[in-house]
């Protein structure tokens, strides 16, 4: 019974595919999985938007939306209808084709990442040996759509937003990769399915998730920071900083195209959250050994939602960074720290199991964190600002 | 240490988040159409015309002097003076506005009309739900819509209305006293004239 519930989606798919002739079964199975992914994540998007608006409201001591349906639960439906019926405006001087293509390119790309993510035991669309690589390739492609949007709008705010977005995404992409490499070094595989399997052991009741090791915790924190920046979420939401550049690369988008961008942004957030879950939080594995009877897909989606709640929490708390602060943080603190983390991972591997690896690795990371935190952000040229005027 | 401030901030928002479910003081939102806070006495939104007594057109204080029309900065008042006259609150014959329109969409709630009115005839209302689905007729209020009783004025601005009533009563009393004095003087004059008329008669005797 527990087995059936765990594998219910896989069994359902096999049952449906069974009606077809043998030659069609593989293709039909893939199409079914794709349909499932395309249905589930927009639904999650609706939930996340509602959660975000309600949660932010509560953090600011407001109610949040509570008018549409009981407790405002149908707010996403109303928002969706609004987005659909709004006028779609294209600026007169804009490059119409590219302007139209930008959201169309973005959405498939962000959905592509889910192809390699295991959402439960045996619930993965393609068990690719280099799944992580595929995921990052797809994640990096979103920058193309962002720049298409910014450039084709022929608007200074759009272009500024797109340039900020590119600068930020590339900087943090490096960090995101480096923090993931740590996991790859220990798991010995780029396949996300294998990475989850390698965390699916328990000592007593506690799981062997990578976040519960010194290097894993450091990598996890770096990953959280980098993924927040990668998805343009607050406090790294400079590309669409509405107080400075209207809405960044969204400025000239309205109606359904804007909704597509919005969807793309959230789905990317889910994708990054899912990857972080897979790498550090054990993917679909249960947090305690005695909870193993709960279906694995429940754990996976529970972890994603928790991650989303943390993102919302960040957004409700932290003010937006300045562009130079953002870059300083990426290149002067996070990047050296993640490089150091790679060295620590290597040490962890070669010290072998025992208390020494815990003490040494924790000590190195802690000392580095404190020292770098003290030194990396000290401003050198403090004093009255000197102005030079044209003579 | 790096990140301590971030953690403190996260703690603060978490306290807000959970606190808003437990303590009512945190959620200061008034859910407007269902819940309302009573309007403040000093609130001012849109002018109205005060009338005394039960009938709005008979008791209207406005004498169509058109000062407010001239003083109104956005020129939202339109007045047409009447041809005939009717008695005001002291019984003096005065003109009255045959037409008195104020455009809601133009009025900027500056209260200048109230300040310049020498007859305490125009005052500020606190009713703020002036939205209408009729763009032209609905936003232009005529004298019947503008007329509101003195009792209503007492209800929305008790302090101010009491002052106004006191002032009007004082003025009325002064006028009455003057009229009385004038009447007395006239009577005395008449008596004197009578006496004077009687004197030569005496002298004749």
The structure tokens listed for A205 are 């009741």
Look at residue A340 in the predicted model and tell me its pLDDT. 92
Q: b vs e for A350-369, b when ≥16 Cβ sit within 10 Å of the residue's Cβ?
A: eeeeeeebeeebbebbeebb
Q: Which residue of B has its CA nearest to A369?
A: B2
Higher pLDDT, A269 or B202: A269
Using a CB–CB cutoff of 8 Å, tell me whether A375 touches chain B.
Answer: no
The span from the CA of A146 to the CA of A140, in Å, is 11
H or E stretch at B90: none
The pLDDT tens digits for A194-223 are 888 888 888 888 888 888 888 889 999 999
Nearest chain B residue to A333 by CA distance is B2
Q: pLDDT-derived band of residue A306, with 50, 70 and 90 as boundaries?
A: very high
The domain segmentation of chain A, as residue ranges, is: 90-377
**Whole-number mean pLDDT of chain B?**
85
DSSP class of A330: I
Taking an 8 Å cut-off on Cβ atoms, the answer to whether A60 and B16 are in contact is yes
Question: Which site among A57, A58, A64, A329 would you substitute to test the B interface, given the most B Cβ atoms closer than 10 Å to its Cβ?
Answer: A58
- B28 touches A: beta carbon within 8 Å: yes
CA distance B73 to B64: 18
Residue A369 touches partner B, C-beta closer than 8 Å: yes
Chain A interface, mutation test: which of B1, B7, B10, B17, most A Cβ atoms within 10 Å? B17
Q: Which of A58, A318, A377 sits opposite B16 (nearest CB)?
A: A58
Selected for mutation to probe chain A from B13, B15, B20 (highest A CB count within 10 Å) is: B13
Could you tell me which chain B residue has the CA closest to the CA of A225?
B3
A316–chain B nearest CA distance, Å: 7
Quick one: DSSP state of residue B30?
-
Query: Measuring CA to CA, which residue among A146, A137, A143 is closest to residue A170?
Result: A143
Q: What is the percent of chain B where pLDDT is above 70?
A: 96
Spatial distance between the Cα atoms of B159 and A5, rounded to a whole number of angstroms: 73
Lowest mean pLDDT among A47-51, A352-356, A378-382, B20-24: A378-382
The pLDDT of residue A378 is 67
Beta strands in chain A (DSSP E): 202-203, 206-207
- Paired residues of B175 in beta bridges: none
C-alpha distance from A229 to closest chain B C-alpha (Å):
16
Full-prediction pTM beyond 0.80?
Answer: no
Geometric angle at alpha carbon A236, from A231 and A241, rounded to 5°: 100
pLDDT of residue B141: 86
pLDDT, position B201: 56
Please tell me if residue A318 touches chain B, with a CB cutoff of 8 Å: yes
Residue A184's alpha-carbon distances to A146, A194, A218, in angstroms, are 29, 10, 15
The answer, yes or no, to whether residue B202 has pLDDT greater than 60, is no
Q: CA-CA distance, B57 to A242, in Å (whole number)? A: 55
Whether A63 sits inside 8 A of B12 (CB atoms) is no
The yes/no answer to whether this complex scores an ipTM above 0.85 is no
pLDDT digits (tens, 9 = 90+) for B120-154: 888 888 888 888 888 888 888 888 888 888 888 88
User: What is the distance between the terminal CA atoms of chain B, rounded to a whole angstrom?
Assistant: 124
| Residues of chain A neighbouring B19 (CB-CB closer than 8 A) | 61
Task: Identify which of A265-274, B25-34, B127-136 has the greatest average pLDDT.
Answer: A265-274
Residues from chain B contacting residue A377 (CB–CB below 8 Å):
2
Short-list A57, A281, A279, A258, CA closest to B28: A57
What is the rounded average pLDDT for all residues in chain A? Answer: 86
Q: Which residues are paired to B99 by β-bridges?
A: B80
Residue A391: its pLDDT value, please? 63
Tens-digit pLDDT profile for residues A37-89: 888 888 899 889 898 988 898 888 888 888 888 888 888 888 888 888 888 88
How confident is the model over B41-72, as pLDDT tens digits? 888 888 998 888 888 877 888 888 889 888 99
Task: Report pLDDT for A220.
Answer: 92
CA distance to B59, B65, B83, B147, B166, per residue, from B87 (Å): 9, 15, 14, 18, 20
Query: pLDDT at residue A25 above 60?
Result: yes
B91 closest CA partner among B176, B187, B184, B174: B176
Phi, psi of A14 (to 5 degrees): -60, -40
* φ, ψ at A332 (rounded to 5°): -100, -20
For B16, the closest of A59, A318, A369 (CB atoms) is A59
Length in residues, chain A = 391
Q: Does B21 lie at the interface with A, CB-CB under 8 angstroms?
A: yes
Q: State whether A373 and B1 contact (CB < 8 Å).
A: yes
Interface membership of A59 toward B (CB under 8 Å): yes
Each residue of A231-247: pLDDT tens digit? 888 888 877 777 778 87
What pLDDT, in 10s, does the model give residues A116-151? Answer: 888 888 888 888 888 899 998 888 888 888 888 888
In the sheet where B122-125 sits, what is the strand order? B122-125, B46-51, B147-149
């Amino acid at each position: 019974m527990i087995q059936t519930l765990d594998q219910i989606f896989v069994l359902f798919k096999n049952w449906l595919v069974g009606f077809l002739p043998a030659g069609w079964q593989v293709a039909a199975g893939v199409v079914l999985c794709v349909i499932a992914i395309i249905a589930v994540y927009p639904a999650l998007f609706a939930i996340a938007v509602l959660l975000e608006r309600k949660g932010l409201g509560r953090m600011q001591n407001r109610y949040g939306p509570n008018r549409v349906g009981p407790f405002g639960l149908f707010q996403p439906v109303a928002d969706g209808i609004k987005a659909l019926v709004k006028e779609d405006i294209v600026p007169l001087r804009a490059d119409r084709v590219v302007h139209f293509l930008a959201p169309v390119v973005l959405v498939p790309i962000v959905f592509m990442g889910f192809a390699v993510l295991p959402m439960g035991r045996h619930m993965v669309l393609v068990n690719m040996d280099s799944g992580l690589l595929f995921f990052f390739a797809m994640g990096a492609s979103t920058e193309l759509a962002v720049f298409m949007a910014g450039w084709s709008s022929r608007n200074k705010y759009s272009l500024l937003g797109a340039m900020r977005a590119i600068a930020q995404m590339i900087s943090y992409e490096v960090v995101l990769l480096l923090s993931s490499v740590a996991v790859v070094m220990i798991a010995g595989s780029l396949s996300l399915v294998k990475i989850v399997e390698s965390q699916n052991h328990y000592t007593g009741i506690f799981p062997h998730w990578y976040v519960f090791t010194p290097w894993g915790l450091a990598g996890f924190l770096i990953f959280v920071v980098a993924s927040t920046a990668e998805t343009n979420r607050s406090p790294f939401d400079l590309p669409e900083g509405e107080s400075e550049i209207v809405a960044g690369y969204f400025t000239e988008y309205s109606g359904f195209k804007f909704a597509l961008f919005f969807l793309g942004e959230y789905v990317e957030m889910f994708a990054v959250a899912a990857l972080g879950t897979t790498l550090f939080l054990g993917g679909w594995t249960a947090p305690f050994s005695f909870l193993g009877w709960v279906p694995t897909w429940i754990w996976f989606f529970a972890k994603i939602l928790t991650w989303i709640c943390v993102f919302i929490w960040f957004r409700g708390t932290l003010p937006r960074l300045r562009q130079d602060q953002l870059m300083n943080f990426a290149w002067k603190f996070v990047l050296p720290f993640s490089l150091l983390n790679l060295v620590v991972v290597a040490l962890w591997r070669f010290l072998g199991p025992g208390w020494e690896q815990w003490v040494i690795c924790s000590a190195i990371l802690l000392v580095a964190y404190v020292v770098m935190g003290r030194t990396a952000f000290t401003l050198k040229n403090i004093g009255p600002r000197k102005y030079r005027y044209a003579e | 240490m790096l990140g301590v401030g971030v953690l403190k901030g996260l703690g603060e928002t978490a306290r807000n988040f959970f606190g808003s479910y437990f303590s009512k003081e945190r959620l200061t939102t008034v859910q407007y159409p269902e819940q309302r806070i009573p309007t403040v006495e000093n609130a001012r939104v849109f002018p109205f015309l005060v009338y005394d007594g039960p009938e709005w057109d008979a008791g209207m204080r406005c004498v169509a002097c058109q000062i407010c029309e001239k003083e109104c900065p956005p020129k939202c008042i339109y007045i047409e003076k009447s041809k005939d006259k009717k008695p005001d609150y002291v019984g003096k014959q005065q003109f009255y506005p045959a037409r008195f329109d104020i455009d809601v969409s133009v009025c900027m709630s500056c209260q200048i009309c109230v300040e310049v009115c020498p007859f305490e005839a125009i005052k500020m209302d606190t009713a703020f739900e002036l939205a209408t689905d009729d763009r032209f007729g609905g936003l232009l209020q005529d004298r019947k819509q503008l007329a509101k009783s003195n009792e209503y004025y007492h209800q929305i601005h008790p302090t101010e209305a009491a002052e106004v009533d006191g002032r009007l009563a004082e003025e009325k009393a002064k006028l009455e006293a003057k009229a009385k004095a004038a009447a007395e003087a006239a009577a005395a004059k008449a008596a004197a004239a009578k006496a004077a008329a009687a004197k030569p008669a005496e002298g004749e005797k």
